[in-house]
Structure 1
Amino acid sequence: MAPSVTPTVTVGTYLARRLEQLGLTHLFGLPGDFNLGLLDELLTGSALRWVGSSNELNAGYAADGHARLRRGPAAFVTTFGVGELSAVNALAGSFAEDVPVVHVVGLPSTRAMADGALLHHSLADGDFGHFVRVADEVCATAVVVRATGACTAIDRALMTAVGSSKPVYLGIPADVAVAHVPAAPLGRPLRVLHSDPAVAEEFRVALTDFLGDAPEVTVLAGPGLHRRHLEERVRTLAAQNGVRIATQSASKAVLDESHPATLGVYAGRFTRDPETRRRVDEAAPLVLAGVVMTDFLTGSFTHGFDPDAAVDLHLDHARIAGAAFYGLYLEESLRILEEVLEARSPRPEPLPRRAVTEAVPHVAAHPDGPLTHADLWPLLQDWLNPGTLLVAEAGTSFYGALELTLPDGCDLLGQPVWSSIGYTLPATLGAMLAAPERETVLVIGDGSAQLTVQELGRLLTLGLTPTVLLVNNSGYTVERAIRSPEAVYQDVVEWDWTKLPAALGAPATPVFRAETPAQLVKVLHEVRADREHAAFVELVLPRDDAPDSLVQLARSVR
């Protein structure tokens, strides 16, 4: 009898299959001589769709945006040294904002690295660990895969990305990418996000005791809920008698802003509604769900509540008045919270509905005067459709978006924790590939766009139909509001923005320009009438004009 042959696959193919099992459909990145063989293995015979980027930073941003809109991690591929270092800023943003991104790096061969060969793209010192150590600072784990144990190394890294909701680094040497490994492990799905049953029961008992018979429970919902795609669970909580829900700015609209249980956005002293601030600061009990306590999200640390006196639900553990419950994922702790609230006896009476003022369409006081933020955002609010994905760049765009009351079903995508300007344009590409059916509107400033605008060409030539609103206010408005508004370093080069789509490969894209409220109303009407195409709109605003919330933030920083 002939001996049985154990089925094998290459390491690159194994990784591709595991990514597919996690639901990935797209792979972002750039080719380089050290990752070409790896790319062939990843893409040959797999369903992964390659999305080339203009540079590695953009690829990382696109993967970040992709992961935020899909239920699971995203991945991008770069080459060793010059490629991977270009992506470090994107990885740091994903780490700071809890986004599971897999950074796959094609490395030189195992022999070349072991011999300390003075290769190109290296520091010519024979040490090939420099860049892995850099990645280790901004990733949950950084692993160089060897042929022996490759399957285990890949599986552990992918489970870490999903479990921690953080980026991970997989360095794969050129020879390892094509080395054969057993295919058998692929028959067993990766087991991720399983809470410890004993810890879950301890948490249930402690939570029941902590909440007691409180007639009203206030929940502050943070961006962790988006990372775990728990929006539906939030809506279920909001339907419970006695529950009120406020959101952080990074999770604005996680609950429809017309919902009777919503309290609006909470940001310490920057909270727009004093009643919202009072209810959160004085809440007893208070539940923090996926909350992040950074300066921009707490009104420069002016929050009036004590996290150590609250129920604090994190991505991978929970706390009740300081007592920790490790091994309990947010999905499970939120489910237990729902069940404990449902089991209250006697059940609280429904809370009175908030008074809702009927929306009145905005009318500019000076329709033919200069377009200002005071008119831009109300006009945009009137124009947005329910269900829209609004992407807002750090700075004037994000803080202007915070002043909107978004229609039901809308989401706000931004990066308020890391706040790296230029993030949103590539992130819009990734987000739209994850949810192409969603109407998507990007608002980005001129200074931010100049960092990553190359990706506009890819965004417009893939058949996607975003509306891109380019806020041209002649420079770095946020920095001007903080200090030295007349300084030369606050200026950017003036571009002919409306010619950009054609220059970047999309000459058929409709382009518009608006300098007055009346022109903006006309442009938005024309854009709405043609939903079959993308649109690029240049909005010309005064240099020093800014949304009120951004002015407050600048004063705080100053």
Structure 2
Amino acid sequence: MTSTTARPNVSVGGYLARRLEQLGLEHLFGLPGDFNLALLDEMLATTNLNWVGSGNELNAGYAADGYARLRRGPAAFVTTFGVGELSAVNALAGSFAEDVPVVHIVGLPSTTVINHGTLVHHSLADGDFGHFVRMAAEVTATAVVVRAHNAATAIDQALLTAVGSSKPVYLGIPADVAVAPISATPLSRPLRVLRSDPAAAEDFRDALTEFLGGAAEVTVLAGPRLYRRQLEQRIRAIAAQNGVRIATQSASKALLDESHPANLGVYAGAFTDNAETRRHIDEATPLVLSGVVLTDFLTGSFTHGFDPEHAVDLQLDHARIAGNAFYGLYLEESLRILEEVLESRAPRPAPLPRRPVPAACVHEPADPRGQLTHADLWPLLQDHLAPGTLLVAEAGTSFYGALEMTLPDGCDLLGQPVWSSIGYTLPATVGAMLAEPDRETVLVIGDGSAQLTIQELGRLLALGLKPTILLINNNGYTVERAIRSPEAAYQDIVAWNWTSLPAALGAPTTPVYRVDTPAALVEVLEKVRAETDQAALVEVVLPRDDAPESLLHIARSVR
């Protein structure tokens, strides 16, 4: 007998929103546009997702990226067709380059319009509605236009791809498809992700045991992809094993507390500050690369002295041992196996002599009333940071200045050193703080970078978020000046009245400060620390051509 019980239905937009909620999302970023209004109504009417509007689509993409990084999982943002989605492509490319699983959802014209090639607004007026999907395919793991007849499958596959690859994906949803009813039955089965191939795992375990052998010392270089899989605790457990030392790349500087005795510090090839750190990595036998990215800025312009083909290389969806590949093996599983193999070594290695951790001391500027420079800024900020702080550092002087600090325990450093798109951090701070709203957050951003995305300061303050923002005013593009033609007109920017911006952007009660000496900076940081119930903007005036030494290394290598 055939059942007459009606299967529950949900709209395509509602289905997508509920899947995102099942993946742990609480916020949805983006901007409205006429082609995505029906989609937004469906998504927001059927879930508890909180809408976070941005000043422009680029900022929305950056905010979603920051949200995903701190959630250690996917994030999503919505734009409209053509003009909206193209504005967001730079953010999407950054998420791809830095392995961040962002879902870009685009409201498209109706299926009828697309099928007939109707010359509508926001299109290129040539009847081809595939231009922008093809563009998105170049900077995503998959780019799909959803149709009603297979919408649930298309959505689920795209979301699984985002989580499995830790890359962004693109979902284009025509206006009529957004409201089309489909079966809600698949929603009763949560998406199952990141299951490694058991045979590959066992083969890897055997090969790893043989490769490590009876090594008394195992050195690990830990990279930023470990963050994408929430593997910080696993690294700490590995660091606690006898005979293990761990260095990090600059993009994963705070992955292991810098006070940890097994922490060798940051490794960046020839740009490594500590000669012992460089020697340990370059001469390590055996060497384990875990979630490592070998780009120019992370390897000291490719001056790393180790050969990945002679190491263990653990990546997001595969592993290699001396060039032998194990596919279908996710980083969670390979790192777990590494810990177990280290634990089971017999005889158990004796503890290694631990790296001495420098004693904490308060920085004393040579001239507290003189001109503030980078030589004083970063040590003074280091003295100010509390354990557990999220430090967000913009590409350029801010990020490389942050690398020179010794961060207190529990801190995280959020930056974008691979893609290095200036302006990223201000909107990314919005997303990061929504992901961890109770965490003390300090954003350091340069004047040139801030001018790209300053609109998001208004949204940040309107949301009631309370970061301390250090805006470095060094009168233009300092890193570019260090590379070439420091006096060229194109290195200059328009001088803004930075301390007037919070009021102009809707938050007139936000405390603002301007400092240009070490003593003034210390006084303001102490005041900000005492006023934790509100955000603060501190304009930090520095000499035009002054820069952290680590950034000058990079500039010389580019030059």
* TM-score interval, normalised by the smaller of the two chains: over 0.9
Q: Residue by residue, what CA displacement relative to the aligned partner does 1:88-135 show, whole Å, maximum 9, x if unpaired? A: 000000000000000000000000010000000000000000000000
What's the secondary structure of 1:148's corresponding residue?
helix
Amino acid at match of 1:3: T
Equivalent in the alignment of 1:344:
345
Equivalent in the alignment of 2:164:
163
Equivalent in the alignment of 2:64:
63
List, as ranges, runs of 4+ consecutive aligned residues in structure 1 with deviation greater than 4 Å: none
Contact 2:18-2:46 at 8 Å conserved across structures: no
TM-score, normalized by length of structure 1? 0.99
Matches for 1:200-349 after TM superposition, within 5 Å: 200-349=201-350
Contact 2:110-2:176 at 8 Å conserved across structures: yes
Equivalent in the alignment of 2:500:
499
Equivalent in the alignment of 2:144:
143
Amino acid at match of 2:365: A
Amino acid at match of 1:390: L
Instruction: Say if 2:537 is the partner of 1:536.
Output: yes
Question: For residues 356 and 240 of structure 2, what CA distance do their matches in structure 1 show?
Answer: 17
Question: For residues 334 and 272 of structure 1, what CA distance do their matches in structure 2 show?
Answer: 28
Amino acid at match of 2:445: I
Following TM superposition, by how much is the alpha carbon of 1:482 offset from its aligned partner in structure 2, in angstroms?
0.1
Instruction: Say if 2:56 is the partner of 1:75.
Output: no
Question: For residues 72 and 309 of structure 2, what CA distance do their matches in structure 1 show?
Answer: 31
Q: Residue by residue, what CA displacement relative to the aligned partner does 1:386-442 show, whole Å, maximum 9, x if unpaired? A: 000000000000000000000000000000000000000000000000001110000
Question: For residues 321 and 337 of structure 1, what CA distance do their matches in structure 2 show?
Answer: 15
What's the secondary structure of 2:216's corresponding residue?
coil
Equivalent in the alignment of 1:472:
473
Equivalent in the alignment of 1:190:
191
Question: For residues 260 and 5 of structure 2, what CA distance do their matches in structure 1 show?
Answer: 63
Amino acid at match of 1:405: T
Q: Residue by residue, what CA displacement relative to the aligned partner does 1:182-203 show, whole Å, maximum 9, x if unpaired? A: 1100011111100000100000
What's the secondary structure of 2:35's corresponding residue?
coil
Matches for 1:387-398 after TM superposition, within 5 Å: 387-398=388-399
Contact 2:319-2:334 at 8 Å conserved across structures: yes
Q: Residue by residue, what CA displacement relative to the aligned partner does 1:468-508 show, whole Å, maximum 9, x if unpaired? A: 00000000000000000000000000000000001001111
Equivalent in the alignment of 1:463:
464
Following TM superposition, by how much is the alpha carbon of 1:3 offset from its aligned partner in structure 2, in angstroms?
2.6
Instruction: Say if 2:398 is the partner of 1:423.
Output: no
Following TM superposition, by how much is the alpha carbon of 1:354 offset from its aligned partner in structure 2, in angstroms?
1.6
Contact 2:446-2:471 at 8 Å conserved across structures: yes
Question: For residues 140 and 261 of structure 2, what CA distance do their matches in structure 1 show?
Answer: 40
Amino acid at match of 1:256: D
- RMSD of aligned alpha carbons: 0.7
Question: For residues 81 and 356 of structure 2, what CA distance do their matches in structure 1 show?
Answer: 58
How many residues align? The count is: 558
What's the secondary structure of 2:92's corresponding residue?
helix
Equivalent in the alignment of 1:173:
174
Q: For structure 2, which runs of at least 5 residues remain unmatched after alignment?
A: none
Question: For residues 532 and 415 of structure 2, what CA distance do their matches in structure 1 show?
Answer: 24
Matches for 1:364-513 after TM superposition, within 5 Å: 364-513=365-514
What's the secondary structure of 1:78's corresponding residue?
strand
Contact 2:200-2:327 at 8 Å conserved across structures: yes
Question: For residues 325 and 544 of structure 1, what CA distance do their matches in structure 2 show?
Answer: 49
Equivalent in the alignment of 2:124:
123
Question: For residues 54 and 543 of structure 1, what CA distance do their matches in structure 2 show?
Answer: 30
Query: 1:410 and 1:2, CA in 2 relative to 1: closer, same or farther beyond 3 A?
Result: closer
Question: For residues 56 and 356 of structure 1, what CA distance do their matches in structure 2 show?
Answer: 44
Question: For residues 204 and 5 of structure 1, what CA distance do their matches in structure 2 show?
Answer: 50
Question: For residues 237 and 477 of structure 1, what CA distance do their matches in structure 2 show?
Answer: 40
Following TM superposition, by how much is the alpha carbon of 1:355 offset from its aligned partner in structure 2, in angstroms?
1.8
Amino acid at match of 1:76: F
Equivalent in the alignment of 1:514:
515
Question: For residues 440 and 526 of structure 1, what CA distance do their matches in structure 2 show?
Answer: 16
Q: Residue by residue, what CA displacement relative to the aligned partner does 1:317-342 show, whole Å, maximum 9, x if unpaired? A: 00000000000000000000000000
Contact 2:17-2:46 at 8 Å conserved across structures: no
Following TM superposition, by how much is the alpha carbon of 1:253 offset from its aligned partner in structure 2, in angstroms?
1.0
Contact 2:270-2:303 at 8 Å conserved across structures: yes
Question: For residues 180 and 158 of structure 1, what CA distance do their matches in structure 2 show?
Answer: 20
Amino acid at match of 2:322: A
TM-score, normalized by length of structure 2? 0.99
Question: For residues 486 and 376 of structure 2, what CA distance do their matches in structure 1 show?
Answer: 23
What's the secondary structure of 1:102's corresponding residue?
strand
Question: For residues 170 and 92 of structure 1, what CA distance do their matches in structure 2 show?
Answer: 15
Contact 2:247-2:266 at 8 Å conserved across structures: yes
Q: Residue by residue, what CA displacement relative to the aligned partner does 1:322-373 show, whole Å, maximum 9, x if unpaired? A: 0000000000000000000000000000111222221221011011111000
Question: For residues 45 and 143 of structure 1, what CA distance do their matches in structure 2 show?
Answer: 23
Following TM superposition, by how much is the alpha carbon of 1:5 offset from its aligned partner in structure 2, in angstroms?
1.2
What's the secondary structure of 1:194's corresponding residue?
coil
Instruction: Say if 2:547 is the partner of 1:553.
Output: no
Amino acid at match of 1:22: L
Following TM superposition, by how much is the alpha carbon of 1:4 offset from its aligned partner in structure 2, in angstroms?
2.1
Following TM superposition, by how much is the alpha carbon of 1:461 offset from its aligned partner in structure 2, in angstroms?
1.3
Question: For residues 231 and 71 of structure 1, what CA distance do their matches in structure 2 show?
Answer: 11
Question: For residues 519 and 531 of structure 1, what CA distance do their matches in structure 2 show?
Answer: 19
